[in-house]
């Protein structure tokens, strides 16, 4: 495939065919994010994308059953362009069951509910959206480009169109100062949206980012393993959604997975068990990667 730069995809898209419809991220200002720094954002032409789809068909034939359109915020493409490439995907891969992409709040909100209904009809199955937090102060500090009200509007718009929504929350992104506020506000936003999926990531400072510099200078309080587990517990305790919750990432200290609310107590029990382990048995909070 004709990939440009490093290509990122959610863990749940590990078996998907990845096609770059856009290059880079149009926002690219989040203070915690080290992704897409090697390339300027641009939208590839529909013909370029179709060429890659044909190359994939020549290589994989009829085996493709899931397609992820990278890079960051492919949802920014014009609706008619997305309809075109989605319909073409379905023509080339008749056994395909799923079309997915990344979409941040501010770019989701550029489209109407009617446009999302059109995209659903064309084959869009799921949007992966990193909201990170529901706390307005935290969202401003990390330069996410949206507040909690906008997050709720975007989430409800996608859900109303019948498109699956996978929302990502970053444990520890509020630092020690706003750990409680971050957990409670994030639960409130998720309860309002009730997405199909809630996925947890634990913040790890990445070299070359603004938040890494703040942390290294003592201006950001990185959560210890115990603190991250307690924040996760507070979030889960306050979730009233019926979503599937996954901590499907190596950054997390606790692998708590299941359907809310029926598996909530099992998740809390797992966290309580982990809190009985010596804290130095966990990875250092600054070690790892996203």
pLDDT of 148-160, one tens digit each?
999 999 999 999 9
Nearest to 101 by CA among 66, 133, 131, 132: 66
* Proportion of the chain above pLDDT 70, given as a percent: 99
What does the alpha-carbon distance between residue 35 and residue 50 come to, in Å, rounded to a whole number?
25
What are the Cα distances from residue 262, in Å, to 120, 158, 272? 29, 25, 18
Tell me, what's the pLDDT at 289? 55
Question: At a CB cut-off of 8 Å and minimum separation 6, what does 247 contact?
Answer: 199, 200, 232, 254, 255, 256, 257
Q: Report whether pLDDT(109) > 90.
A: yes
Tell me, what's the pLDDT at 2? 86
- Dihedral (Cα; 39, 43, 44, 45), 10-degree rounding: -160
With bands split at pLDDT 50, 70 and 90, how would you rate the model's confidence at 287? confident
pLDDT of 117-129, one tens digit each?
999 999 999 999 9
């Amino acid at each position: 495939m004709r990939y440009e730069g490093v290509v990122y995809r959610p863990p749940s898209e590990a078996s998907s065919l990845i096609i770059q419809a856009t290059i880079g991220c149009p926002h690219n200002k989040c203070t915690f994010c080290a992704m897409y720094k090697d390339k300027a954002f641009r939208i590839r032409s529909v013909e370029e994308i179709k060429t890659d789809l044909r190359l994939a068909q020549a290589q994989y034939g009829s085996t493709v059953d899931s397609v992820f359109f990278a890079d960051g915020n492919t949802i920014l493409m014009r609706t008619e362009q997305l309809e075109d490439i989605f319909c073409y995907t379905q023509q080339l891969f008749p056994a395909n069951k799923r079309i997915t992409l990344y979409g941040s709040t501010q770019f989701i909100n550029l489209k109407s509910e009617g446009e999302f209904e059109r995209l659903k009809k064309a084959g869009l199955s799921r949007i992966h959206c990193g909201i990170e937090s529901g706390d307005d102060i935290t969202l401003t500090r990390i330069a996410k480009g949206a507040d909690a009200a906008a997050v709720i509007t975007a989430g409800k718009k996608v859900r109303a169109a019948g498109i699956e929504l996978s929302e990502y929350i970053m444990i520890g992104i509020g630092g020690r100062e706003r750990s409680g506020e971050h957990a409670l506000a994030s639960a409130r936003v998720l309860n309002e949206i009730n997405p199909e999926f809630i996925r947890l990531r634990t913040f790890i400072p990445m070299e070359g980012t603004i938040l890494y510099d703040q942390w290294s200078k003592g201006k950001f309080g990185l959560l210890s393993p115990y603190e991250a587990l307690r924040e996760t517990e507070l979030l889960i305790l306050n979730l009233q959604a019926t979503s599937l919750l996954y901590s499907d990432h190596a950054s997390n200290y606790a692998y708590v997975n299941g359907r809310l609310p029926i598996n909530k107590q099992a998740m809390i029990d797992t966290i309580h068990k982990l809190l009985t382990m010596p804290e130095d048995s966990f990875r250092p909070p600054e070690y790892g990667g996203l």
